[in-house]
Amino acid sequence: MAKVYELANTHVFRRAALSKTFADRLARKLFRGVLTLQGLGAFALITLGVILDKFSVARSVIHPRVRHEIYRSGVALVPMFGYVSLALGFLVVGQTVSALAKVGATDYLGSMMVVVVVRELGPLLTAMLVLARIGTANVIELGTARALGEVEALEALGIDPVHYLIVPRVIGMALGIFSLTVYLILGALASGYLFAFLQDVALAPGDYFKQIAAALNWLDFALLALKTVLFGFFIAIVTCYHGLARPLRLEDMPRVAVRAITQGVFICVLVDAVFIVLYLAT
Amino acid sequence: MSETFIPAVIEMRGVNIGAAARPAANDVNWSVRPGEFWVVAGQQQSGKSNLLMHAAGLTPPAQGGCRVFGCATDSFDDAHLAERLRAGFVFAGGKLFNHLTVAENVALPLRYQKNLTAAAAAGEVGALLKLLELGPFADATPANLAVNWRQRAALARALVLKPELLLLDSPLAGLGVPHRRWLQAFLDRLWRGHEWLGGRPLTLAVTTDDLRPWRHPDRKFAVLDEQTFTVLGSWREVESAQIRTVKDLLAEPVETTL
């Protein structure tokens, strides 16, 4: 008996007891995840409701804010996306040409560019970059506003915080990501051809354009628009939810920002997966 | 001759102040009539701010009922926006919007509620800034302003919609002596009927942790002490009150002798 007691107090048993704690922790995390999902869903519905309900309320205040957010999440990022589109074209074409050349299938360069850049990498890369650059700023700005009592001040003035703070960000980010994705795709396709030309691929610009046009159909355009707008919507909702809707103190900010970005990445990948299924189904 | 019934501006009945689990004060009954100037005193963390927040309808009380201009604050939604905007609120420290300049802070409620462009609101905002001597700071952001001017900017923001009731949370906290005097004189002018409000007397309620600057025969006083809200009445009752907190809040600051 004494031996059993002694054994129970060894590191082995202490470590064994940890497995219960681990399960407990896992369950707690899952439960917290469900609660977050519920909160995010409610927040998204409230935001959609406010967008529809207050479409014509205080236009002279909200419209300039929407324009500002479009500039912030779109226009201001154009130089960075110019650089990224060059890199993306180089990366995809560089790898694709060497791979296709081995099997003598460089004629498929245009189709590969459409599949990789238009359908997948372009939208997802844009969403990730905007999430990192603007999503983080959203969490910090809104969290600071919340912690410093600016949200209460808005309510005291009869201003709906969701209408004033969230709606412009959601619209700005949805339109910003859509526009930036189009820029990125066009830039990557152009730079892709440039790098293919530099690699002596025997492909006339007209043929390259024809390959791309043949590989695209109306569904690509429709799904691209829908996907990018959804990326923008969800990124704005996740980052604004963590910044504004949750009780927040200034010292919580770094932890909340990391959580918001992680969840943003998770949701974007999830949305992308849904669209892959849609592409495959059609 | 029957006396005309004047409805209360603020009517609290059986209100518990603060969080439901740990209320700062229980069973608060408070009635504020039009044209009254109330001073609510209490130590720090006694629940003064929560009391004003409940009174403005910004947070619902854990228990009890509160009506502002006859409208229950728990039903303050977009449909009752007009009633809500009859009350102005000045937060402790101002709580100005840090991403906007002073002029933009003051203009925001006017522009939002009346759907005005910045140019259309500029005249009214400029006049108010001039009235509060904030003209030179119109383009400054709150973070670059001293607390004295931040407090004035917060007051301007609350006054821009010309409220009928003004609630100020610790308005004198952290102000320099000239600014304290200016603010008290200005609040007195508002209370008696300022031209900015069309000469209509304003109903006021302020909170404080120092009663001495608010000494005035025509003001009404209440105190939050040991989870109890006590209406004291006039300054005479304040001086004769046997409540420890009141005595503490009337005491002169400790002077150091060299």
Would residue A235 count as lying in a domain? yes
Exposure string for B86-107, b = 16+ CB within 10 A, e = fewer: bbbbbbbbbbbbeebbbbbbbb
Q: How many domains, in total, are found in chain A? A: 1
Q: Above 80 in pLDDT, residue A144?
A: yes
Question: With 60 as the cut, is the pLDDT of residue B44 above it?
Answer: yes
> What ipTM goes with this model?
0.89
pLDDT at A5 (0 to 100): 46
Does residue A9 carry a pLDDT above 80? no
The C-alpha angle with vertex B224 and arms to B219 and B227, in degrees rounded to 5, equals: 160
Full domain range(s) for residue A203: 77-281
pLDDT, one tens digit per residue, over A69-96 is 999 999 999 999 999 999 988 888 778 8
pLDDT of residue A203: 74
How does pLDDT run across B108-142, given as a tens digit for each residue? Answer: 999 999 999 999 999 999 999 999 999 999 999 99
Does the distance separating the beta carbons of A148 and B109 come in below 8 Å? Answer: no
Nearest-Cα residue of chain A relative to residue B83: A158
Q: CATH number of the domain at B10-92+101-250, out of 1.25.40.10, 3.40.980.10, 3.30.1490.100, 3.40.50.300?
A: 3.40.50.300
Instruction: Please check whether residue A57 touches B, CB under 8 A.
Output: yes
What is the pLDDT at residue B238? 86
Domain for residue A45, yes or no? no
Pick from B84, B93, B95: CB nearest A158: B84
Domain presence at residue A221: yes
Q: Does A47 map to a domain? A: no
User: Shortest Cα distance from B120 to chain A (angstroms)?
Assistant: 10
A139 is a domain residue: yes
DSSP string, chain A: -HHHHHHHTSHHHHHHHHHHHHHHHHHHHHHHHHHHHHHHHHHHHHHHHHHHHTTTTTHHHHHHHHHHHHHHHTGGGHHHHHHHHHHHHHHHHHHHHHHHHHTT-GGGHHHHHIIIIIIIIHHHHHHHHHIIIIIHHHHHHHHHHHHTTHHHHHHHTT--HIIIIIHHHHHHHHHHHHHHHHHHHHHHHHHHHHHHHHTT----HHHHHHHHHHH--HHHHHHHHHHHHHHHHHHHHHHHIIIIIS---GGGHHHHHHHHHHHHHHHHHHHHHHHHHHHHH-
**Residue A176 pLDDT > 90:** yes
Interface contact A158-B117, CB threshold 8 A: no
Question: Using CB atoms, which residue from A61, A156, A160 is nearest to B89?
Answer: A156
pLDDT band at B184 (very low <50, low <70, confident <90, very high): very high
Q: What are the chain A neighbours of B108 within 8 Å (beta carbons)?
A: 61, 157, 159
Is B97 in the A-facing interface, judged by CB distances under 8 Å?
yes
B174 touches chain A (CB under 8 A): no
> Does residue A8 form part of some domain?
no
In whole angstroms, what is the distance from residue B125 CA to residue B107 CA? 6
Tell me if A54 is assigned to some domain.
Answer: no
Q: Which of A60, A153, A158 sits opposite B117 (nearest CB)?
A: A60
Whether residue A71 lies inside any domain: the answer is no
pLDDT at B8 over 90: no
Region B225-240: what's the mean pLDDT? 88
Q: Which amino acid is at A174?
A: A
Angle between helices A11-53 and A218-240 (to 10 degrees): 110
Taking all residues of chain B, what is their mean pLDDT, rounded to a whole number? 89
Mean pLDDT confidence for B50-65 = 87
B31-41 average pLDDT score:
93
